[in-house]
Chain A
Amino acid sequence: MVLGNYKTCVAARSTDKEILKGAQDGGIVTQLFAYALEEGIIDGAIVAGPSDEPWKPEPMVATTRAELLAARGTKYNLSPNISLLKEATRSYGLDRIGIVGTPCQMQAVRKAQLYPIGMRDVPDKIALAIGIFCMENFPYQSIEAIVEDHCNQKLESVTKMDIGKGKFWAYTERGAVSQIPLKVTHKYEQPGCHVCLDYVSNLADVSTGSVGTPDGWSTVFVRTKNGENAWNKAITAGCFETQDIAGVKPGLDLVTKLATDKITKNQKTLEARASFGVGKGLRNPYL
């Protein structure tokens, strides 16, 4: 289950210049949701929107293209998107929900569908769940520490953050680029991420991330019938430019490597947790 079940995998990017302008990589999530919204595949999407504080995401239900555009780009800290899952069917009256999230959030979505313990009338309303690749996430205070203390940039002057090539990058509006090695950021990671056994959002309908493809492109796994339906329609409508994943560098080998690294490392954490105390351990959520 390193890469999960999938029907197809391609390198892709949006054909929409406006979307690409503020996108993290290939603008896959924004483009696919914008298309799905236009076509009525979804009535709205739960996304990590902007908030009052710089780079602190706030979950929001986007029902317009403008709202989707405002939420473009990766914020490397917590956006509890699932907290709006039931609300989206209530206050927003959505019958077909789009939702984007990290692998753990996709797990939460599927658990909500199979064990809808507090999710009345939600299971049948998940129309398109888009997962993003994720190695780990940070609390907001960690992002403040990383960007302000380590990168020496004011959070409000940063225009883009990125993790790639073993480094954390902060780009500012005045053109400065700060980079620090990921080994500096490790201690700021959210602990709950260290038991996660999924890198590429195995349980999403469509999952995407930058790893495996050249700059400005994204790797896309189409995993379920729902995902395939939306993806194929979007391709036919000309929403995406694609390339065979076998033909791009660094390709799926790198995705497989990073996924394996994450799973191996976190399996070890789970094992270590089992004998964390003296004759006592910490909980394993997978038992």
Chain B
Amino acid sequence: MTVVITGVGAVAEEPRPGQGQGEDGPWFDAAAHLGRRGWKYLTPATRYLLAAGNEALGRRHTDPPLTGAEAERFGVVTGTQYAIARVHRRMDTVLTTEGVRGISPAEVPGFSMNTPGSQLAISTGARAFSVTLTNPVTAGLEAVQFAVTALRAGRADVVVAAATDQAPEDRGGSGAYDAAAAVVLAARGRTPGPAGAEGPLAAVTGGLSRFLPPGPAGAVDPAALAASAARVAALARGTDGVRLVVGAPPAAASRAAEVRDAVAEALAESGIPVRDPAADGTRPARHCAVSGLLDLVGLARAGEPALLVSLSEPGHLTAIGIHRPETVGPEFI
């Protein structure tokens, strides 16, 4: 069964040193994305997620949610690492200074990590499942891996795999920025016709997750690295070359380079060239858990075979492979 990407959406703050920060920051106009009503009490991370999800689905925030059998075959999976960080800290301050009466009942759901994803599920009518994944950095691509697994297991016919993050307060100088991204994944053959006006953007060849902790000197165990690189490279089977993008926080940049070199070597052993290596390579995961998904959105729009890898500082690695949309997908690696 082949999983295809039928829609993508993204909103992302880009580095602009010296800009002031509003609640959402000056880069995001909630009214432009969501209309005038229905989002006042939602957190910024939730607003970003709704904007990206709606764009990927080709819907407006005011459109009615799905109902009936279609809703029961539609799922949402959301990755985030800082969804509640600001809310939680503010609530904690209120509790320790003003007491519990200082917290508005309207903002109570905001303390739960899954609230952004749940709001997307409520808004769109996703009744197959709504799951939130929270590993730092890799959670965005994990959402895709989760969605593909659920589609292949028959738990849904269409899944929005999304990610959202609102960077922590002290981002001035931290290099972390707000963003959300979403891809719509569908089981080809289980949905009527090609979703989207122009058909699928890409086929997903598979996904995998590994844990590669840094050793005492910071480098990964060579045997474990080689084994994982071989698994990642196998996601490119059937292609005549791939673009290879490895994203990681700057603190894990050297390990990202190690992973990239190891995957490139494994690809070479399989006779699969890396395309346009100068343009891709390793990238700083500036948008927290959304980073990998932002890369996926861009590469899916490009319509070329690609391997995307997200690496976290503690050692999680998640990889997703995509191919041209007409491709028949293989099984998991």
Q: Are these two chains actual partners, yes or no? A: no
Residues of A near any B CB (own CB < 8 A): none
Q: Chain B residues in contact with chain A, CB under 8 A?
A: none
